[in-house]
Amino acid sequence: MVFKNTIVIIAFLLLALPGFNSEATSYNTLVTMQAQNQTDAPALQAVAPTQYAYQDQLHRDTPRGALAGFINAAIKRDYQLAALYLDLRYLAENKLNQSDTEYAQQLHAILERNIWINLEDISDSPNGMLNDQQPEYRDLFGQIEVNGHAVTLWLQKVPDQQLGTIWKISNATLSKVPKLYQELGYSPIVEWFIRYVPDGYLFKINLWEWALLLSYFVSAFIITLPVTWLFKWLLLRSQYQFKQHIAAIITGPLRLFLTLLIDRAWLANTTLSALATELVNTGVLFVLTIMWLVWSLISLFQHMLREHLISKGNKQGASLLRPLINFVKVVLLILAILIWLEHLGFNASAILAGMGIGGIAIALASKQSIENLIGTMTLYSAAPIKVGNLCNFGGMRGTVEEIGLRCTRIRTLDRSVIHVPNAKLAEMEIENISEREKIRFKSDIRLDYATTSAQLKAITEDIKTVFEAHELVDKSPLRVTFKGFGLHGLEVNIFAYLATTSLPKYQLAAEQLQYDIMDIVAKHGSKIVPVAPYAQA
């Protein structure tokens, strides 16, 4: 029940985060020209303020009027009217296979797909934008990045018989429209939805886009449904211990996760409007599904770990799993409720302040106890040490005798007892000596400089033979090498591992090997010299 409530709360929580965005999946870059909050119109539509007394019937007296007129005509799918806002002069070669309305329709698709336009930033003066470092007959109204290159969109003055000059979308921009449409326009599937779905908008998004999103989701679900059902059927026929838990995950969060993966893969190769792309990229449903899936996997892992600990006789560790998971759930639930209340209009800070006076006093009084309890859970979950282990705790060495709920009891080599709080122990750098699977043997011997090369070779070969013949010495790595010419003698390095974890057994074997080394050196007529010269009487 706690899990279900938590999921519901988190759902409200994430839906309350309008700024949560995932990485865009489309290959082109969405360039935003100062996006603004609007009420009922689509993202591309914005009615220009009538500050200027337009003389042209189509309001092409100013850059803002011309652009607003084109957008409003395109929104209504009146592409014949929209074409009147385009400067189609000098496009004879490009227009052989393309009509005026096709230019308007393709430009509308490019703008709707890739850019948000704020008409407040467009000049509403017949003279255009002044001091913008552009020619007086040309104004910029947007930029689109395609394959790493910025394409600039222009409005420009053109001759008019009645007014002298009017503003239209530049023919320099229109000459790029066919190629831009191939890169950034709508795909054939999208064109089908545009053609057969009625015109209209819902929450500023085209109805055909809602139909496309729903169709993709339903199709992806139809694909994943038989696949997940087959996996569940095969799993339930097995003898696996946790098959019921895994089957619930397969038919629940995993099925939805796979559906959304397929859906997002299709959408990544589908052209949508800028606002619809932004909606998809928020990924709220996708994130909720991932949380549901991860939460289910954690619960499955908790159940499997608990059964494993019980089978090993570690009931204390198994009993600590439940409060640990419940503690995490409570923390997540409290955070979700507070953020949810904030979203509903309540002042979560005031609620915390009202609860805080007594809560702070209790929290401060139990601070150390809570830290030690968490430290105990950490020690049991990570298990860096166990009872009976010989360890180095900082600069102290001792054997672990007991791990309690508050502190751990350690018996030092001097046979004294030290109690270390678990919160402090969990932060210590611990060297667990008992976890060694073997012990390293490393020795450097120095031979007298009177030793010849033949003697040195014979000594190193005999030492290696002795080590290879010893039952406790690992065959690899095993090195007996002439290290070099030291300050006080010829240095021979010996490196090997003894296959034992018992320190007394290692000491006896190392002692015998050291005796053998001394005998070999003496046998070949050399002698071991100390690190520093000493005076003989």
pLDDT of 533 reads: 55
Residue 468 main-chain phi, psi, to 5 deg? -65, -30
168 lies in the same domain as 229: no
Residue 464 to residue 150: CA distance in whole angstroms = 71
In a domain, residue 300? The reply is: yes
Is there a contact between 487 and 512 (Cβ–Cβ < 8 Å)? no
Tell me, rounded to whole angstroms, the distance of Cα 229 from its chain centroid.
30
Rounded to an integer, the average pLDDT of 198-213 is 83
Q: How many residues does the chain have?
A: 537
**CATH number for position 395:** 2.30.30.60
CB atoms within 10 A of CB 104: 26
- Please write down the HEC assignment for all residues of 43-84: CCCCCCCCCCCCCCCCCCCCHHHHHHHHHHHHHCCCHHHHHC
Q: Is the pLDDT of residue 264 over 90?
A: no
121 lies in the same domain as 99: yes
296 lies in the same domain as 395: no
266 lies in the same domain as 283: yes
Residue 109 to residue 208: CA distance in whole angstroms = 13
8, two tokens? 């519901």
CB atoms within 10 A of CB 204: 17
405 lies in the same domain as 505: no
226 lies in the same domain as 310: yes
In a domain, residue 537? The reply is: no
In a domain, residue 476? The reply is: yes
| pTM, rounded to two decimals | 0.43
User: Above pLDDT 70, what percent of the chain?
Assistant: 74
47, two tokens? 């009615």
Q: Is the pLDDT of residue 311 over 80?
A: yes
241 lies in the same domain as 317: yes
> Which residue's structure tokens are 């974890």?
501
Q: What type of residue is 482? A: F
Residue 398 main-chain phi, psi, to 5 deg? -170, 175
Domain boundary among 125, 150, 185: 185
pLDDT of 29 reads: 33
> Which residue's structure tokens are 């029940």?
1
Rounded to an integer, the average pLDDT of 418-437 is 83
286 lies in the same domain as 413: no
Of 334 and 152, more confident: 152
Domain boundary among 337, 356, 375: 356
pLDDT of 462 reads: 92
**CATH number for position 515:** 3.30.70.100
Rounded to an integer, the average pLDDT of 413-419 is 87
121 lies in the same domain as 179: yes
Rounded to an integer, the average pLDDT of 427-443 is 85
In a domain, residue 253? The reply is: yes
What is the crossing angle of helices 207-236 and 274-282, to 10°? Answer: 30
How high is the mean pLDDT of the chain?
A: 77
Q: Which of 132-146, 189-203, 343-357 has the lowest mean pLDDT?
A: 343-357
> Which residue's structure tokens are 């290959």?
27
Of 388 and 212, more confident: 212
pLDDT of 367 reads: 59
Confidence of residue 194 (pLDDT cuts 50, 70, 90): confident
In a domain, residue 213? The reply is: yes
Confidence of residue 55 (pLDDT cuts 50, 70, 90): confident
Q: What type of residue is 117? A: I
Q: Using alpha carbons only, how large is the chain's radius of gyration in Å?
A: 39
pLDDT tens column, 72-81 = 888 887 888 9
Is there a contact between 51 and 124 (Cβ–Cβ < 8 Å)? yes
Is there a contact between 348 and 339 (Cβ–Cβ < 8 Å)? yes
176 lies in the same domain as 214: no
In a domain, residue 193? The reply is: no
Q: Is the pLDDT of residue 4 over 50?
A: no
Is there a contact between 125 and 155 (Cβ–Cβ < 8 Å)? no
Longest dimension (CA), the chain: 125
Residue 277 to residue 198: CA distance in whole angstroms = 20
255 lies in the same domain as 328: yes
Q: Which of 14-18, 98-102, 219-223, 498-502 has the lowest mean pLDDT?
A: 14-18
Q: How many distinct structural domains can be found in the chain? A: 4
3-state SS assignment for residue 502: coil
Residue 87 to residue 155: CA distance in whole angstroms = 9
- Please write down the HEC assignment for all residues of 334-358: HHHHHHHHHHHCCCHHHHHHHHHHH
3-state SS assignment for residue 363: helix
Domain boundary among 413, 435, 457: 435
Domain holding 418, by residue range, is 383-435
Rounded to an integer, the average pLDDT of 527-534 is 74
Residue 517 to residue 441: CA distance in whole angstroms = 13
In a domain, residue 2? The reply is: no
In a domain, residue 536? The reply is: no
97 lies in the same domain as 174: yes
Q: What type of residue is 309? A: L
Is there a contact between 475 and 468 (Cβ–Cβ < 8 Å)? yes
Residue 338 to residue 335: CA distance in whole angstroms = 5
